[in-house]
Structures are given as C-alpha cells and as structure tokens.
Amino acid sequence: MSRKRIVAGNWKMNTTLEEAHALASEVARGAGEEVDLVLIPPTCFLATVLDATASSAVSVGAQNMHPAASGAFTGETSGPMLTSLGAQYVVCGHSERRHVFGESSAFIGEKVSAAHANGLIPILCVGETLEDREAGRTDAVVLDQLEAGLQGLESSQIPGTVIAYEPVWAIGTGRTASPEQAQEVHASIRARLAERFGGEIAGRVRIQYGGSVKPGNAAELLGQPDIDGALVGGASLVASSFLAIADA
C-alpha cells in the first residue's frame, strides 16, 4: 500500500510576523511535490504564512482549535475560522496541549470530529511519557489516546486523518526513539486501526513520527515500513533543516 509521505513543521510559539513570512517563503521556494509539506505556524501568523506559500506546493495548518464553531471561548480559534483563512490541517492533542494545558483525550476527540466537520485534516497526536514506557504501558496509553481521538469518526473519515506518534520523552529533548522503537508503536497503531476499521482503511492512514527529528536521523526513521512522515518541532524553524528532512 503506498502512502504519500507527509512532513509537517510545528513552529510552536516561535517567530515574529517578519520571521514567519521569511521562513515560510524560504520553505516554499525549496518545496518539491513528492512529499506533502505542511507548515504549522502560530495562529496569529496563519494569514501571512498562507500568503507566503500561496503559489507553492506547501500546505498550512493550525496548532490547535476549539471544537465549538463559535461562542464565548475567549482566546480560542474555531474550525470555521481556520477554514475561512484557508488552513487545511489542524494539530489535535499535541503533547503540550495534553500535558501543559491539561486537555483530556475526550476533548481532543471532539476537536478531531470538529476538524472533519469543517473540512480540515486533523493530525491527531498520541504518545507515552517516559514513566509510561518504563512501566510497560506504551501500547496501552497510545492506543487509548488513539481510540478516544477517533471516537466520533465514521470509517470513511479515517483515511483522511493523520496520526502522529510522538513519545513525550523525545519531544524537544534531543532524545529520539530508535527506528525500531518507533516502528513497533507505529505497527501497533496500524494493527488497532485494522482491527477497528479493516485492513484496507488502516493501510491508507498516514502515521507520522515526531520527537527530535533532524536531517541526520530522518532517513532511518522514515525508512521504517509504518512510518509515513514526520512531525517536526525545533528543526522546522530553520528552512534548510526542514527541507533536508523532507528530502530524506
């Protein structure tokens, strides 16, 4: 089953307006079409990044959204807002949302459903903490997050959902899961998708790895059979590094 690779750059809470425009322009100039490239800037710079990438193969996504379409949710951004800007993707349940902002798996599942309802492609993040891994709970934690994240979806929406496996202990730490460790969890995720939705659908879902991906380790990670791309944090803030990961 061939799946188009997807490499996404999560800029987190970094860049100014000028830096966002310059970084997006540089990525757009270097982007090819063999891999889906997605830039995920801070929400306040979505418009400028959309503008800078308008005539390129690069897509743009948001780092987060609220499940409600509108209302009294100060500081939040809704699906219809993102769609009206021209965003195509939205990250749901990044580990910083789960662990720093206390978002529950059920709330993240609502976001994933709302993303689809608004024509956005959700990137559902799942991943275990170091404590979970050391206690032998990796699969249990990751698969629970997966089930809760996909809970409100129809089978037909599963192939249009991207999953990002991001071990919490590897995010922003310089520690990377070994290709074998990552492949093992990716295979468990795909096996669970096959159990729930059938092998044909599971075979179409793209599963990214995230956690200190860099140009030097990307080829080996992305060479694993169930790793279909990368969700990149730190290294996506330098255009040449991000493009080198896509090349790998």
Residues with a catalytic annotation lie at 94, 166
163 binds ligand PEP (CB under 6 A): no
CB of 30 to ligand PEP, least distance (A): 19
Compare residues 113 and 212 and give the one whose CB is closer to ligand PEP: 212
CB of 218 to ligand PEP, least distance (A): 11
Instruction: Yes or no: say if 128 and 138 are a contact pair by the CB < 8 Å rule.
Output: yes
Q: What DSSP line would sit under 67-130, residue for residue?
A: SSSSSS-TT--BHHHHHHHT--EEEES-HHHHHTS---HHHHHHHHHHHHHTT-EEEEEE---H
Compare residues 99 and 199 and give the one whose CB is closer to ligand PEP: 99
Q: CA-CA distance, 233 to 171, in Å (whole number)? A: 8
CB of 90 to ligand PEP, least distance (A): 14
Q: Which region, judged by CB under 6 A, interacts with ligand PEP, from 22-30, 109-117, 136-144, 165-173?
A: 165-173
Compare residues 49 and 232 and give the one whose CB is closer to ligand PEP: 232
Compare residues 10 and 53 and give the one whose CB is closer to ligand PEP: 10
- Residue 209 CA: distances (Å) to CA of 9, 33, 126, 155, 218: 12, 20, 10, 23, 10
SS3 category, 218: helix
Compare residues 165 and 197 and give the one whose CB is closer to ligand PEP: 165
CB of 213 to ligand PEP, least distance (A): 5
- Buried b / exposed e across 209-242, counting CB within 10 Å, b at 16+? bbbbbbbebbeebbebebbbbbbbbbbbbebebb
Give the residue closest to ligand PEP by C-beta: 233
CB atoms closer than 10 angstroms to residue 4: 11
Q: CA-CA distance, 172 to 55, in Å (whole number)? A: 31
Instruction: Please name the residue that has the structure tokens 């959309």.
Output: 50
Site mask, ligand PEP, residues 202-241, x = CB under 6 A? --------xxxx-----------------xxxxx------
Contacts with ligand PEP, residue ranges (CB under 6 A)? 10, 12, 166, 171-172, 210-213, 231-235
